[in-house]
Amino acid sequence: MNSNSSEPAAVHVLNWQWLGRQDYLPTWQAMRALTDARDAATPDQLWGVEHPPVFTQGQAGRPEHLLDAHGVPVVQTDRGGQITYHGPGQAVVYLLLDIRRRHWMVRETVQRIEEAVIRTLARWGIEGVRHPGAPGIYLASSEKISALGLKVRNGCTYHGVAINVAMDLQPFTWINPCGYAGLRTLDMASLGARATVEQVAAAFAEEFAALWQTQGGEPTMRP
């Protein structure tokens, strides 16, 4: 690995962790704590998880986009975007990144995350596309298959991306997903892909690591 002596060694490292099934609220609290405590030497991290059923509402989320929670917990969180659903069968990867020390802008970061999702889906023969002005990844037939929402604090990101692998999609009909009434969602299994949540999360981590490059250095991803 090449490195610039003026940069901390941590700038070139991504620590990948598969954390398995985790409740949403303590995971969010852990992300905030790490972000508040990190310094210039803190390595960047990707956390892969699968959540029990939960709706999360973005910081500027509008309550009318929650149509009927049907008893599913609703958490008001601090990421960008509107309401979304997390549940079993969905791969969620949280990106705890210091983008300021890498000289990335927020838009560039989002584009790289989206590109990593597109490359991940392609491994299973699925073509993902972007919709201008609507973060996340869609199918050519306009269904959404991946949602994205970040929080940036002091140049560092947390929250991340969700990829629908093989899940009960009905809860998405109880909301206006990401604030869009009538937006349909699909998962990889509906398109014939056979994969586990952990496999998809790990594939995303690999694809994002391949994009984790700046002048003078290449990424090292560590388990």
Q: Name the catalytic one among 116, 178, 201, 202.
A: 178
Query: Would you call 178 a catalytic residue per the annotation?
Result: yes
> Residue 146 corresponds to which amino acid?
S
CA-based radius of gyration for the chain: 17
- Residue pair 48/81 in contact (Cβ under 8 Å)? The answer is no
Neighbours of 209 (CB within 10 A): 19
Rounded Cα distance between 189 and 64, Å, is 30
Q: Is the dihedral of CA 100, 97, 79, 28 positive or negative?
A: negative
- Residue pair 128/146 in contact (Cβ under 8 Å)? The answer is yes
Catalytic center residues: 178
